[in-house]
Amino acid sequence: MAVSSTSRDPLGPEVSDEAVRSTCDDASQCKRYAVNMGYWKDPYIQHFARHPKERKAPEISRGYYARVEGVTRLVKAFLQKTDRNCQIINLGAGMDTLFWKLKDEDLLPGKYFEIDFPTIATRKIHTIKSKPSLSQPIMESHSGESFLIDSHSLDSTRYAIIGADLRELHKLEEAMKKCGLDPELPTLLMAECVLVYMAPENSDALLRWVADVFPTAMFINYEQVNMSDRFGQIMIDNLQSRKCSLIGVEACLSLDTQRQRFLQNGWEGAHAMDMVEVYNALPPEDVKRIEALEFLDEKELLEQLMLHYCLSWATKDAQDLGLLEITL
Ligand SMILES: C[S@@+](CC[C@H](N)C(=O)[O-])C[C@H]1O[C@@H](n2cnc3c(N)ncnc32)[C@H](O)[C@@H]1O
Ligand 1 pocket residue status of 45, Cβ below 6 Å? no
Ligand 1 pocket residue status of 198, Cβ below 6 Å? yes
pLDDT of residue 29: 96
Amino acid occupying residue 66: A
pLDDT of residue 103: 98
Please state, as a whole number, how many other Cβ atoms lie within 10 Å of the Cβ of residue 96.
25
pLDDT of residue 12: 53
Smallest CA-to-CA distance from 110 within 148, 157, 161 is with 157
Ramachandran region of residue 9, left (φ > 0), alpha (ψ -120 to 50) or beta? left
Assess contact for 268 and 211: CB atoms under 8 A. no
Smallest CA-to-CA distance from 38 within 61, 68, 69, 71 is with 61
Residue nearest to atom 8 of ligand 1 (CA): 192
- Residues 6+ positions from 194 with CB-CB distance below 8 Å: 91, 92, 166, 223
pLDDT of residue 5: 40
With the most atoms of ligand 1 within 8 angstroms of its CB, the residue from 35, 98, 195, 197 to mutate is 197
Ligand 1 pocket residue status of 255, Cβ below 6 Å? no
CB-side exposure of 327: number of CA atoms within 13 Å?
A: 8
Distance of CA 115 from the midpoint of ligand 1 (Å): 8
pLDDT of residue 147: 82
CA distance 155 to 133: 18
Task: Write down the domain spans for the chain.
Answer: 13-325
With the most atoms of ligand 1 within 8 angstroms of its CB, the residue from 64, 71, 117, 207 to mutate is 117
Q: 153-155 and 309-317: which strand pairing?
A: unpaired
Report the side by side order of strands in the sheet with 148-149: 148-149, 153-155, 159-163, 111-116, 87-91, 187-192, 216-224, 309-317, 269-274
Smallest CA-to-CA distance from 189 within 157, 163, 166 is with 166
pLDDT of residue 2: 43
pLDDT of residue 298: 83
Smallest CA-to-CA distance from 162 within 28, 29, 171, 103 is with 171
Q: Is 8 exposed, middle or buried (0-12, 13-18, 19+ CB in 10 A)?
A: exposed
Cα 10 from chain centroid (whole Å): 26
pLDDT of residue 13: 55
Q: Which CATH superfamily is domain 13-325 in?
A: Vaccinia Virus protein VP39 (3.40.50.150)
Smallest CA-to-CA distance from 268 within 198, 199, 215 is with 215
From residue 225, alpha-carbon distances to 217, 222, 251, 255, 276 in Å are 23, 9, 8, 7, 12
Smallest CA-to-CA distance from 245 within 13, 27, 1, 24 is with 13
Residue nearest to atom 15 of ligand 1 (CA): 194
Q: What is the pLDDT along the chain (328 residues), one digit of tens a residue?
A: 444 443 445 445 554 789 999 899 999 999 999 999 999 999 999 999 998 889 999 999 999 999 999 999 999 999 999 999 999 999 999 999 999 999 999 999 999 999 999 999 999 999 999 999 999 999 999 998 788 888 878 999 999 999 999 999 999 999 999 999 999 999 999 999 999 999 999 999 999 999 999 999 999 999 999 999 999 999 999 988 988 889 999 999 999 999 999 999 999 999 999 999 999 999 999 999 999 999 998 899 999 999 999 999 999 999 999 999 999 9
Please state, as a whole number, how many other Cβ atoms lie within 10 Å of the Cβ of residue 174.
12
Cα 75 from chain centroid (whole Å): 11
Assess contact for 191 and 91: CB atoms under 8 A. yes
pLDDT of residue 3: 44
